Amino acid sequence: MKKKTDLRVIRTKKMIIEAFVALSKTKEYEEITIQEIADAAMINRATFYAHFKDKQDLYDQILEVSIKAFAEILDTEKLLSGKTVKLKKMERMLTKIFQVIQENKPFFSSISDGRATIQFRQKLIELLYDKYEEIFKNLKITENDIEVPIDFIVQYMTSIFLGTVHWLVNYENNFNPDHMARLVIKLVGNGHLTVLGIEIDRD
């Protein structure tokens, strides 16, 4: 099970991914040809096909990696204690996440285009669903006698997160991860959670 991967394979894959990310900054996904990627990565076009099924496959694999970083952070702490949401923990988690994004700003900027958004969103939703369900499952939120489904809450919260990320990587700003986290917590914590009737623990 522990066969070491050939150095050449690792090197080539790395170069392909870097080439693609670099190209993403200059042109749209659809405009990038395999030949261009191969040229930029300084490999033969056929070699590309030895590693990736097609352009979409390359894209998926890149996305997969970046999502994993988030998943690891999210798995570390429990946000819920009884029926109370731990805001401080939430803030810590957010700070870490914004840190990862900040450190890889050019990367996230290049992959957070239109194409990524929908897939990114979908993967994030899958990732966040359990977290949110944990918080909201015992809560019946109603609006004019119509129950507000968890689906909606998750979409809503994910949108906020995505919007924040989008702004962070695409606009000039001097916000550090810490400030971002605090700001989002302030908006979501003081705003939404109380509106939705969630108990809050600020320590």
Q: Which residues here bind its own copies, judged by CB under 8 A?
A: 30, 113-119, 121, 143-144, 146, 148-149, 151-152, 155-156, 158-160, 162-164, 166-167, 171, 173-175, 179, 182-183, 186-187, 190-192, 194-196
Q: How far is the CB of 6 from DNA (least distance, A)?
A: 4
Closest CA to 45 of 90, 84, 1, 12: 12
Interface residues with DNA (CB under 7 A) are 4, 6-9, 11-12, 33-35, 42-47, 49-51, 53-55
- Residue closer to DNA by CB (options 44, 117) is 44
- Residue closer to its own copies by CB (options 9, 187) is 187
Separation between Cα atoms, residue 63 and residue 60, nearest integer Å: 5
- Residue closer to its own copies by CB (options 19, 153) is 153
Where do the H-state alpha helices sit in 82-176?
87-103, 105-111, 114-136, 150-170
> Which residue matches tokens 């369900």?
133
Residue 12 interacts with which of its own copies, DNA, none, CB < 5 to 8 Å by class: DNA
Q: How far is the CB of 2 from DNA (least distance, A)?
A: 10
Separation between Cα atoms, residue 154 and residue 83, nearest integer Å: 18
- Residue closer to its own copies by CB (options 7, 171) is 171
Q: How far out from the chain centre does Cα 160 lie?
A: 12
Residue 34 interacts with which of its own copies, DNA, none, CB < 5 to 8 Å by class: DNA
Residue 200 interacts with which of its own copies, DNA, none, CB < 5 to 8 Å by class: none
Task: Provide the 10 A C-beta neighbour count for residue 106.
Answer: 12
Q: Say if CB 69 and CB 183 are below 8 A apart.
A: no
- Residue closer to DNA by CB (options 6, 172) is 6
- Residue closer to DNA by CB (options 4, 137) is 4
Separation between Cα atoms, residue 181 and residue 184, nearest integer Å: 5
Residues in the chain: 203
Residue 105 interacts with which of its own copies, DNA, none, CB < 5 to 8 Å by class: none
Residue 8 interacts with which of its own copies, DNA, none, CB < 5 to 8 Å by class: DNA
Amino acid identity for residue 103 in this structure = E
Closest CA to 29 of 104, 106, 120, 111: 111
- CA dihedral for 28, 33, 37, 42, sign (positive or negative): negative
